[in-house]
Amino acid sequence: MDPFTAELATQADPEIGQELIRVRHADGRVEEVRLHDYERLYALPGVYEQIVHDRLGCTSPARLAGMLGEAADALAWPRAAVRVLDIAAGNGVSGDALRDAGLDPVLGTDIVDSARDAALRDRPATYREYLTLDLLALTEAQRAHVSGLRANALSCVAPVGRSRSELPPDALVAAAGLLQRDALVVYMHDPSGGVADPVTAELWRAGLGAATDAQELARTRYVHRHTVNGAPFHMDGVVWRLRRPGA
């Protein structure tokens, strides 16, 4: 393996996701990677954790896993029986947080192969299974397979919204449609742009059926991480309980 070191380059105030990471290889090469260039970032073992978690102080995996665990506790669901679909799972940091919270991440999934490759390389025991899936273009076989896992919870440690850098709300709903009929969903919403959270009871009912009982259980604002200059970057962690006919 090519040894290297990684650091955040000095920069004024980059757009979120465009932070510049400088990777110095042992042979003298210097490579520059943007924070949201996941295809390349995940190919560099440990860099995501070193920059996002150690340097920028990302707390979202643990925060959302904790919120999901607390919601299960309030319903008297044993945490070990909470079978989680972890979507937008990246290299599996979120799956580790779910396990640390006593939950069971039965499936990790992301839309890019590089995320799966990194998770299997770095965390081969975190998930029961990791699949590359486009949640908005699932085949019938994929839908049947994921539904057969009998998951009763969904975790998304990625902002859900309508900008190009966010997970589309319809993808969250599509994933929720693969859960058991009484299930929990935890995700995060970026409030910084002043745009209302698009995930509403009406959205759930439109996607899962008009008879769906969609109840927001918790919403907490917290420091997701810091910017390169130390300013706090906030997110809202949100938990819903979704009950469909037959639950």
The residue extents of the domains of the chain are 4-55, 60-243
Q: Give the model's confidence band at 3: pLDDT under 50 very low, under 70 low, under 90 confident, else very high.
A: confident
Task: Write out the two tokens for 16.
Answer: 């979120």
pLDDT tops 70 at residue 125: yes
Look over the chain and give the mean of its residue pLDDT values, rounded to a whole number: 95
In this prediction, residues 132-144 reach a mean pLDDT of 98
In the chain, the DSSP E strands lie at: 4-8, 20-25, 30-34, 83-87, 104-110, 130-132, 153-159, 182-189, 213-226, 232-243
- Tokens 């910084």 belong to which residue? 192
Check residue 246 and give its pLDDT.
Answer: 86
Cα dihedral across residues 36, 41, 45, 47: positive or negative: negative
- CA 193 to chain CA mean position, Å: 20
**pLDDT of 131 over the 90 cut:** yes
26: which 2 tokens?
A: 């042992």
Q: What pLDDT does residue 157 have?
A: 98
Q: Is the confidence at residue 91, as pLDDT, over 90?
A: yes
More confident residue, 16 or 73: 73
Determine the average pLDDT of the residues in 134-156. 98
- Bridge partners (DSSP) listed for residue 238: 187, 219
Please report which helix (H) or strand (E) contains residue 43, including its range.
Answer: none
pLDDT > 70? residue 171: yes
* 174 three-class SS: helix
To the question of domain 60-243 being in CATH 3.40.50.150, the answer is yes
> Can you list the alpha helix ranges (DSSP code H) found in the chain?
38-41, 47-48, 60-74, 93-100, 113-122, 140-147, 169-176, 201-208
pLDDT at 247: 80
d(CA 202, CA 161): 15
- Average the pLDDT over 103-119 and give the result: 97
- pLDDT value for 132: 98
The phi, psi pair for 235, rounded to 5°, reads -135, 160
SS3 category, 21 = strand
State the pLDDT at residue 2.
65
Count how many residues are written for the chain. Answer: 247
Q: What is the pTM of this model?
A: 0.95
Distance (Å, rounded) from C-alpha 158 to C-alpha 244? 25
| pLDDT tens digits along 47-81 | 999 999 999 999 999 999 999 999 999 999 999 99
For residue 193, the SS3 value is coil
88, two tokens: 């937008």
Position 14 pLDDT exceeds 80: yes
Q: Does 29 score more than 90 pLDDT?
A: yes
Q: What is the pLDDT of residue 102?
A: 98
Percent of the chain with pLDDT over 70: 99
| pLDDT tier for residue 1 given thresholds of 50, 70 and 90 | low
For residues 73-94, give the mean pLDDT: 98
pLDDT at 193 over 70: yes
